Amino acid sequence: MVTGNKKSVAITEPSRQLPANLPLVVMGFVVVSWGAGPPLSKLVTAPPLVAVLIRFAISFPLLFAVVYARGGRIDRQLLRHTALPGIAFGINLVFVFATLQEATVAVLSTMVAVQPVLLLLVGGKLFGEYPTAKQFAWSLLGVVGAVIVILGAGDDVKASALGLGLAFTAMLTFTVYFVLSRVARSSTDVHPINWMAGINFWAFVSAVPPSLVLMGRDDFAEFGGMDWLWIALVAYLTGVIGHVAMSWVHGYIEAGRSSLYLLAMHLVAVGLAWPIHDEPITPVQGVGGLVLLGAVTAVIRLPARAVEPS
C-alpha cells in the first residue's frame, strides 16, 4: 500500500475503492506483456541499437498525444521527475543489447533473475517494506525456479569477462529504473500514463548518442518490412501498455513481491518461443516452471507486511 504525504506532479488518479484483486490481475497482464517482449524482439532483423532507438521514437510521441488528449500536459516538473528513471531505462536497454554481443541470452536472463532477492535486501531501507522469513525463503526458491527455466533449454552458456560485466550492469540499471519508479509511485500522485510519457522521452534521449556513434547509415537501412510490425508490437504492447500498467501496480504491490511475480514472465517467454521460434519446452524447464509458479503462489497467499523504519 502507498503511505506518506503525496505531492501532485501531473494529472492525478481519482481516489476510489479498488477491487481487492485488481492489482494482482493487472500484475498478471504485465507478466504476459513483458514475457512476450523477448520472442517478439527476436523477430526484428535490424541491428539491436537501431531497434531500440526506433522503439522509443514511436512510443513517446503516442504517449505525449494521449496525455494531451486527456487534458493533461508535459511540464518541466514531470520531465524533472522522470529524467533519472527514464535515462536508466534507456541505458538499460543499451546494456541489454550490448550484453547479447558478448554472452548468450541465458547468461543475461540468469543475472536478471537475481533482482528479486536484491530488492528484498534493500526494500526495507528504501520503501519500509520488510519481508518475513517465509517470503524471503519462497522468493529464493522462485529465483531458483526461474534459473532452471532459463538454463533448462540445454543451450550452451557462454560469456566473456566483458559479457558478464555487461550483464551485471544491465541488471543494476534495470533495478535502478525499477526502484526509482517505485519510489515515485509511493511519493507522488503522477498518473501512470504521464509518468511513462516522460520515461519514454528520456529513454529515447539516452538511446540517441550510442545509436548515432555505433551505428552507420547501412545499419539503419536494414530496418524495414516486417520489422515495423514487430517493433510496433514491442513498443506499444510491452513498452507502452505493459509499462503503464506496471507503473500503476507500483502504487499497490510491494516492490519485493512484484519483482518476484515478474519472474513468471520467463515462463511466458519460453512458452511463446515454442510456436514462434520452434524452441520446444524441455522437461527440466517444466520442473523449473512448477517450482517458480509454486513459489509465486505461496508469496501471493502470504499477508503483506510493511513496517516503517524507526
310 residues of the chain, pLDDT tens digit each: 333 344 434 434 444 567 878 999 999 999 999 888 888 888 888 888 898 899 999 999 999 999 999 999 999 989 998 999 999 998 888 887 777 667 666 666 667 777 777 777 776 666 666 777 887 888 888 888 888 877 776 655 566 778 788 888 888 888 888 888 877 766 777 888 999 999 999 999 999 998 888 888 899 999 999 999 999 999 999 889 998 998 888 888 887 788 788 888 878 887 887 888 777 777 887 888 888 888 888 887 777 554 443 3
For residues 127 and 255, what is the distance between their CA atoms, to the nearest angstrom?
8
Q: Provide the grid cell at 18.
A: 479498488
Q: What is the pLDDT of residue 18?
A: 72
Q: What is the pLDDT of residue 286?
A: 84
Residue 285 contacts residue 149 (beta carbons within 8 Å): yes
For residues 62 and 74, what is the distance between their CA atoms, to the nearest angstrom?
13
Q: What is the pLDDT of residue 135?
A: 79
pTM to 2 decimal places: 0.75
Q: What is the pLDDT of residue 2?
A: 37
Q: What is the pLDDT of residue 157?
A: 58
For residues 240 and 228, what is the distance between their CA atoms, to the nearest angstrom?
16
Residues 6 or more apart from 243 whose CB is under 8 A from it? 196, 199
Residue 175 contacts residue 57 (beta carbons within 8 Å): no
Q: What is the pLDDT of residue 7?
A: 42
Q: What is the pLDDT of residue 263?
A: 81
Q: Give the DSSP letter of residue 183.
A: H
Q: What is the pLDDT of residue 223?
A: 92
Q: Which residue, 32, 173, 190, 42, is CA-closest to 95?
A: 173
Q: What is the pLDDT of residue 129?
A: 66
Q: Which amino acid is at 256?
A: G
**For residue 159, what are the β-bridge partners?**
103
**For residue 190, what are the β-bridge partners?**
12
Residues 6 or more apart from 42 whose CB is under 8 A from it? 273, 276, 277
Instruction: Please name the residue that has the C-alpha cell 516452471.
Output: 289
Q: What is the pLDDT of residue 205?
A: 95
